[in-house]
């Protein structure tokens, strides 16, 4: 945090919006972030070609270790995976990194490739939902999710509007992976998923694509989106005969402190139920699609639910889009018919 504030002061010294930006950065709750490059290099812009080259190098360097850990956690090998969902909004490769992963890490040549590039922070939830759908359509199949978000490669040194300065102090880099099994295993047994788009908000979170790459654009109305989305989440749970305020665990996107505080307020739950999301925000910053996967990791490692405990997974991002899932905690038991874990 202190380094971020100091670099903001030096890079935008004398600009009238700087005091407000510094105050907003202090209020993000982010204490530490991880970057794929030293911050001095991050603050320079070598051009889109070089940045995308770094994205390719770093994604290929960092994804294998989390993929291997995810497979180990699921007690599987690469040969057991039937589809790979790769999500990222911070770089571009064609073919997708899925092709490289298949060729490099021993996945079968008939592994399906499902890259998702334009759902931003909502893509973590979307990946879980599309993996759930795939397992329902192909009983017994298994899906690997990989999220690679190198947000620092989108930093624009000349962007000095409040939204840009705030995002410069909020987003971090991360790579995460998880396995959705078609049957068996220990984890969240997915029961239902849904998507929702708040009408006419597609320009609230967006990229302006220019010669210098992706310019992140954030509308001042974005922090208030939990008020219209909370009733959607409530109705989603109600349709499943669950009470959104009485679940046992909540894995939600940590877009910023107001997002989490407002969601607690409008769902009428204690902010402590989002403790894993708060921890991700504090220790890593907003890591886009990887937030829900890291928050889920914390649930697994620090706060293992009792069998049959009920929970919510929710990702929010451009659109404004919400990707939602409900599930129960299952441990070393065959998945129920029509469910994936």
Q: Indicate which residues carry an active-site annotation.
A: 121
Distance CA 285, CA 169 (A): 8
d(CA 176, CA 69): 10
Q: Would you say 82 and 113 are in contact if contact means Cβ atoms under 8 Å apart? A: no
Residue pair 272/297 in contact (Cβ under 8 Å)? The answer is no
Residue with tokens 């770094």: 54
Asked if 91 and 153 count as a contact pair (C-beta separation under 8 A), the reply is: yes
Whole-angstrom distance, CA of residue 336 vs CA of residue 174: 33
How many Å apart are CA 313 and CA 77, to the nearest integer? Answer: 26
CA distance 276 to 282: 10
């Amino acid at each position: 945090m202190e380094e971020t504030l100091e670099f903001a002061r030096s890079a935008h010294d004398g600009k009238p919006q700087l005091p407000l930006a510094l105050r907003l950065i202090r209020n993000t709750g982010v204490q530490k972030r991880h970057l794929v490059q030293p911050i001095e290099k991050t603050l320079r812009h070598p051009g889109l070609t070089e940045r995308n080259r770094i994205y390719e190098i770093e994604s290929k360097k960092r994804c294998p270790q989390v993929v291997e850990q995810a497979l180990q956690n699921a007690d599987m090998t690469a040969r057991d995976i039937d589809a790979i969902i790769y999500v990222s909004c911070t770089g571009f490769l064609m073919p997708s990194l899925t092709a490289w992963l298949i060729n490099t890490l021993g996945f079968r040549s008939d592994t399906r490739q499902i890259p998702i590039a334009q759902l931003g922070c909502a893509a973590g939830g979307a990946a879980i939902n599309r993996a759930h759908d795939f397992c329902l359509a192909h009983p017994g199949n298994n899906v690997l999710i990989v999220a690679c978000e190198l947000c620092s490669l989108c930093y624009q040194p000349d962007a000095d509007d409040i939204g840009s300065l705030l995002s410069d102090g909020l987003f971090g880099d991360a790579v995460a992976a998880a396995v959705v099994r078609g049957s068996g295993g220990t984890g969240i047994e997915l029961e239902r998923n849904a998507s929702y788009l708040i009408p006419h908000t597609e320009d609230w979170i967006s990229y302006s694509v220019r010669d210098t790459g992706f310019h992140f654009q954030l509308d001042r109305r974005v922090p208030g989106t939990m008020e219209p989305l909370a009733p959607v989440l409530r109705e989603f749970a109600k349709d499943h005969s669950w009470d959104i305020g009485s679940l046992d665990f909540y894995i939600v996107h940590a877009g910023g402190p107001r997002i989490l505080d407002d969601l607690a307020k409008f769902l009428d739950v204690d902010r402590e139920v989002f403790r894993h999301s708060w921890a991700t925000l504090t220790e890593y910053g907003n890591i886009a699609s990887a937030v829900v996967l890291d928050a889920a990791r914390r649930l697994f490692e620090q706060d293992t639910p009792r069998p049959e405990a009920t929970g919510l997974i929710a990702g929010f991002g451009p659109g404004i889009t919400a990707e939602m899932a409900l599930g129960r905690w299952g441990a070393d038991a065959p998945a129920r018919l029509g469910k994936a874990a």
